[in-house]
Amino acid sequence: MNTTEMKKINNWLKALLIVTLIILPVKDNFAGNEQRAGQAGASELLINPWARSSGWAGANVACVRGLEGMFNNVAGLAFTSKTELIFSRTNWLMYNDNEAVSYINSFGFAQKVGESGVLALGIMSLDFGDIEITTEELPDGGIGTFSPKFMNIALSYAKTFSNSIYGGFTIKMISEQISNVRAGGVAFDAGIQYVTGAKDNLKFGISLKNIGPRMSFSGDGLSFRDYVNPNYQTAVNHKSAEFELPSLLNIGLAYDLLYLRHRLTGSGTFTSNAFQKDQYRLGCEYSYRDVFMVRCGYTLEEGLRTPSTRTTALRGPSGGFTIEIPMGVGKTFGVDYSYRHTDPFQGSHTLGARINL
């Protein structure tokens, strides 16, 4: 057996060891359980705000690169070469042709620090528009409006440990509020990627997401005045029940087929959800000189074909494309677009702009 063959075997053994060490301690805590669906809150943590990775259906956990790794697998952030900025806007869950349940605005900034580290900041804000205020006495409204404010702020750090191993972690601050009720919390993500193969074209990835303490709502909106007897009125306070975060585990594999200036990448990811059904994500991307890219993906889960057994709109096909324009040595400007099927809604669209400096 020659040196090259021995090296390949060692790479495979290392990858298998990494997967085993990460999966075994957490596998019992992550088993898709549709009976727990609805018991977790902060579900906006499950929404991918970025255009490139959402076009894959999130299947690129093993091969995500740069700032967008903050959502799928923060280890991919370690591949940032210098500076990266992304702006994106998502029309989330379209209905009535031109209206959406929410509009998501996202911004991200990543900067390489030192020889092997990368720091990144990401902000995601959901805009639900103005909602009519109603009461028991005025169920039709007419007394004003309110606007829910949901925001996640994430700070990430990723590091290149060797030519094959990359890892990172993220801390996220969660804020949900209306005019008189609010909730806040914190969540943690961690991820690792392993790259091997003669041309670094075989990739493994694992990420843990949304691990953190329980959250609960508080505020004046949980209080009201009532009569304890016909002659005495007092304030009554309700205590909000605590809820858990929608934690999950991703395990992914990707492989590149390379020919001259063409690249075709196939990827697959298994998502083990703690509070809903497990999902299988498949995706592929074709790239020509990293200037033009087109991608597609599909999210599978149990009971997908029967309407009565579907438990989420976040499944089915997706797709997208990228045009990357060179702006000098090592500098590019890119436009990204993705579409996600969201039955019974009319899909979700994301448009993003990316600058690499």
Give the span between the Cα atoms of 119 and 82, in whole angstroms. 10
pLDDT at 27: 47
pLDDT at 314: 80
pLDDT at 99: 87
Q: Are 191 and 75 in contact (CB under 8 A)?
A: yes
pLDDT at 284: 96
Residue-wise pLDDT for 314-352, tens only, equals 888 999 999 999 988 889 999 999 999 988 888 999 999
Instruction: Collapse the DSSP code of 112 into the 3-class scheme (helix H, G, I; strand E, B; otherwise coil) and give the result.
Output: strand
Distance from the Cα of residue 147 to its chain's centroid:
24
Q: Are 66 and 79 in contact (CB under 8 A)?
A: yes
Burial class of 121 by CB neighbour count within 10 A (0 to 12, 13 to 18, 19+): middle
Spans of the chain, pLDDT less than 50: 26-27, 29-30
User: Which residues, in sequence order, are bridge partners of residue 191?
Assistant: 168, 207
